[in-house]
C-alpha cells in the first residue's frame, strides 16, 4: 500500500501538552548534565542548560507558560547533541523531549514568517522528500563546480547578491562527487568468493549520496570483505532526521514509511547506516511509527535490524585487514566522536576497534572527543556564532594531538571539521573509519 494514501493522525508525543507526563517528570534537577552541555558551558545561563530547557518544557506541559518566541529560540539554541542524555543518572529521554519541544515550537507559530515558512517548505517538503530532484540539484551543483562557473562566481564576487547567511556559507559549500551512490554501487553485490554469510541492506542517505558517495562505496566494500551480500536500492529517500529535529514529526513519519517500503526487510539480516545522525534517527522508526496500524510492526523490526556499520562489523567479528592502506600516512590519527554515535547510539568502542585493527595506524585519543563540533544538523547554518566557537574549541584539541588525519563517522561532522580546518588554516585530512578499513582491505590485493 502506498504510504501517501494512508490517513494518519497526529501522535500523542507530537506536543508537550499531550506527551506522556512521566517523560518530563523524570528530571530530578540534579544538574549532573550541566557541565556536559556545550551551550551551558559557553553561556553559564540556566536556560541554556538541559535542566533549564526541561523546566521550560514542563511549564508548557503544565499550562503555566505559552510556547513563545523566546521558548522556540531556546529550543533551537540547543544543539540536540544529546550529551545530557549520556550524563543523566535519571535516564531522562532528552531526544524525545527535544523533538517534541521543537514540534511544539513549530505548532505555536511563534517563529512564523513568510520567509522562514518559504525556506522550510522548499527544503523540508520540496527537496528532502524528492530524491530525484535532490539528485538533479546535486548534478547541477557538480557541473557548476567543475566547469569553472563557481570560480567565476567567486572572482566576480557575485555572492554579494546572496542573503547574508548564504553569503557566509558559500565558501564552505562542499565539493560534489562526480558519481553518486547508484553509479558506484550495484543494487545487489555479492562477496568475491560467493560465500554469503549475511544479507544486509545499505542506506545511502540524501546529502551523503552525492557529497560522500565514496564513503558509501567503501562501506559496501567493507561489508563484502566480511561475507555480506549487499542490497542497495538505487533510489532512496532522506531518513527524516532533518524533519524530526526541526519540528515536523508527521513529515518524518512519512519519510520513514517510504524507507520501510524500499527494503525487503524479511530477507535481510541487518540494515546498515554509516552516518551517525541518520543512524540515531533510523533506529527510532519503531517508536516513531508505534501507533501506525500498517507500518508499526515493520518499523519495530526495522529498529531491531538497523545497525551502525561499526556496530555490525564488530558484532559479526569482522576480519582484521592484513595490509596497511596504500598512500595514507596513518601514524598520527585522532578520532572525533559524532554526538549521535556516542551519545545517541552509545557506540564508542566499535569504531576504535576497527581503527586499531588497521596495520600501521596509530590512534591518539582526542581530549573532549565526545564534545559537539558545532555541526549538529543545520545548526552551523542557523547558529553560526555558537557553531564557530565549538569548532574552534575542537581544533585546539586536535592541534595538541598533532594529527594529520582526523576520523569521524558523520557527514555533518566531516564537513564541519573540513571547513573548520580550511578556515582556520589546519592541514589535516578528514576521513571516515570505514574508508580506512576498506582501503586496507583493498591494499591486501595490491
Ligand atoms: S542536547 Fe546538547 S546542547 Fe541540548 S541540552 Fe543536551 S547537552 Fe545541551
Ligand atoms: S542530569 Fe538528568 S535529572 Fe539531572 S538535571 Fe540533568 S536532565 Fe535533569
Separation between Cα atoms, residue 5 and residue 114, nearest integer Å: 29
Separation between Cα atoms, residue 394 and residue 371, nearest integer Å: 8
According to the model, what pLDDT value does residue 1 have?
35
**Rounded mean pLDDT, 62-91:** 96
- Counting ligands in written order, which one lies closest to the CA of residue 383? 1
Identify the CA nearest to 204 among candidates 175, 235, 225, 240.
235
**What is the model's pTM?**
0.93
Lookup: cell for 164: 547574508
Identify the CA nearest to 387 among candidates 71, 57, 77.
77
Separation between Cα atoms, residue 423 and residue 410, nearest integer Å: 20
Task: Check: CB of residue 202 under 8 Å from CB of residue 232.
Answer: yes
Kindly state if the Cβ of 92 falls inside 6 Å of ligand 2.
yes
**Rounded mean pLDDT, 75-103:** 95
Residue 11 CA to chain centroid, in angstroms?
Answer: 24
Ligand 2 midpoint to CA 75 (Å):
17
Kindly state if the Cβ of 51 falls inside 6 Å of ligand 2.
yes
Separation between Cα atoms, residue 277 and residue 63, nearest integer Å: 33
Kindly state if the Cβ of 272 falls inside 6 Å of ligand 2.
no
Separation between Cα atoms, residue 368 and residue 38, nearest integer Å: 11
According to the model, what pLDDT value does residue 13 have?
63
Task: Check: CB of residue 231 under 8 Å from CB of residue 300.
Answer: no
Q: Is the dihedral of CA 387, 131, 126, 8 positive or negative?
A: negative
Residue 88 CA to chain centroid, in angstroms?
Answer: 22
Using DSSP, how many helices (H) and how many strands (E) does the chain show?
25, 9
Separation between Cα atoms, residue 182 and residue 185, nearest integer Å: 5
Separation between Cα atoms, residue 111 and residue 321, nearest integer Å: 52
Lookup: cell for 112: 512564523
Which ligand 1 atom is the nearest neighbour of the CA of 33?
7
Ligand 1 midpoint to CA 40 (Å):
8
Q: Give the residue carrying C-alpha cell 582526523.
A: 406
Residue 8 has pLDDT above 70, yes or no: no
Q: What is the pLDDT of residues 368-401, one digit of tens each?
A: 999 999 998 888 888 989 999 999 999 999 999 9
**Rounded mean pLDDT, 58-64:** 94
Q: What is the pLDDT of residues 169-195, one digit of tens each?
A: 777 788 999 999 999 999 999 999 999
According to the model, what pLDDT value does residue 170 have?
75
Identify the CA nearest to 33 among candidates 13, 53, 58.
53
Indicate which residue's Cα is closest to atom 8 of ligand 1: 37
Q: What is the pLDDT of residues 280-324, one digit of tens each?
A: 999 999 999 999 999 999 999 999 999 999 999 999 999 999 999
Q: Give the residue carrying C-alpha cell 521558548.
A: 71
Separation between Cα atoms, residue 48 and residue 236, nearest integer Å: 37
Separation between Cα atoms, residue 197 and residue 290, nearest integer Å: 31
Amino acid at each position: 500500500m502506498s504510504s501517501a494514501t494512508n490517513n494518519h493522525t497526529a501522535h500523542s508525543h507530537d506536543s508537550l501538552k499531550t506527551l506522556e507526563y512521566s517523560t518530563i517528570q523524570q528530571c530530578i534537577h540534579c544538574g549532573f548534565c550541566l557541565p556536559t552541555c556545550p551551550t551551558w558551558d559557553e553561556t553559564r545561563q540556566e536556560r541554556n542548560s538541559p535542566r533549564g530547557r526541561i523546566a521550560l518544557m514542563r511549564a508548557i506541559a503544565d499550562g503555566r507558560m505559552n510556547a513563545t518566541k523566546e521558548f522556540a529560540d531556546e529550543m533551537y539554541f540547543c544543539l540536540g547533541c544529546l550529551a545530557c542524555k549520556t550524563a543523566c543518572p535519571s535516564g531522562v529521554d532528552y531526544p524525545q523531549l527535544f523533538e517534541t519541544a521543537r514540534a511544539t515550537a513549530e505548532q505555536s507559530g511563534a517563529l512564523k514568517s513568510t520567509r522562514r515558512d518559504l525556506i522550510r517548505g522548499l527544503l523540508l517538503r520540496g527537496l528532502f522528500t524528492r530524491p530525484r530532484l535532490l539528485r538533479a540539484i546535486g548534478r547541477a551543483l557538480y557541473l557548476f563546480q567543475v566547469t569553472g562557473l563557481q570560480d567565476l562566481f567567486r572572482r566576480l564576487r557575485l555572492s554579494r547578491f546572496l542573503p547574508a547567511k548564504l553569503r557566509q556559507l558559500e565558501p564552505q559549500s562542499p565539493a560534489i562527487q562526480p558519481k553518486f551512490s547508484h553509479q558506484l554501487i550495484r543494487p545487489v553485490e555479492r562477496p568475491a568468493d560467493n560465500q554469503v554469510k549475511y544479507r544486509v541492506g545499505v542506506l545511502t542517505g540524501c546529502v551523503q549520496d552525492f557529497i560522500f558517495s565514496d564513503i558509501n562505496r567503501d562501506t559496501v566494500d567493507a561489508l563484502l570483505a566480511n561475507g555480506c551480500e549487499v542490497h542497495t536500492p538505487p533510489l532512496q529517500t532522506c531518513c527524516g532526521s532533518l524533519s524530526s529535529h526541526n519540528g515536523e514529526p508527521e513529515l518524518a513519519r512519512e519519510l520513514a514509511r517510504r524507507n520501510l517500503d524500499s527494503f525487503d526487510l524479511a530477507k535481510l539480516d541487518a540494515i546498515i547506516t554509516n552516518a551517525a545522525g541518520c543512524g540515531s534517527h533510523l533506529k527510532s522508526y519503531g517508536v516513531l511509527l508505534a501507533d501506525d496500524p500498517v507500518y508499526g510492526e515493520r518499523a519495530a523490526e526495522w529498529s531491531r535490524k538497523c545497525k551502525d556499520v561499526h556496530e555490525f562489523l564488530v558484532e559479526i567479528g569482522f576480519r582484521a585487514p592484513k595490509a596497511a592502506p596504500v598512500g595514507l600516512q596513518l601514524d598520527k590519527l585522532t578520532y572525533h566522536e559524532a554526538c549521535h554515535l556516542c551519545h545517541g547510539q552509545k557506540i564508542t568502542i566499535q569504531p576504535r576497534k576497527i581503527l586499531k585493527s588497521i596495520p600501521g595506524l596509530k590512534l591518539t585519543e582526542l581530549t573532549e572527543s565526545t564534545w559537539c563540533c558545532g555541526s549538529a544538523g543545520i545548526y552551523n547554518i542557523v547558529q553560526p556564532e555558537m557553531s564557530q566557537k565549538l569548532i574552534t574549541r575542537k581544533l585546539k584539541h586536535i592541534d595538541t594531538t598533532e594529527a594529520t588525519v582526523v576520523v569521524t563517522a558523520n557527514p555533518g561532522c566531516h564537513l564541519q571539521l573540513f571547513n573548520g580546518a580550511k578556515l582556520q588554516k589546519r592541514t589535516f585530512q578528514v576521513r571516515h573509519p570505514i574508508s580506512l578499513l576498506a582501503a586496507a582491505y583493498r591494499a591486501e590485493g595490491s
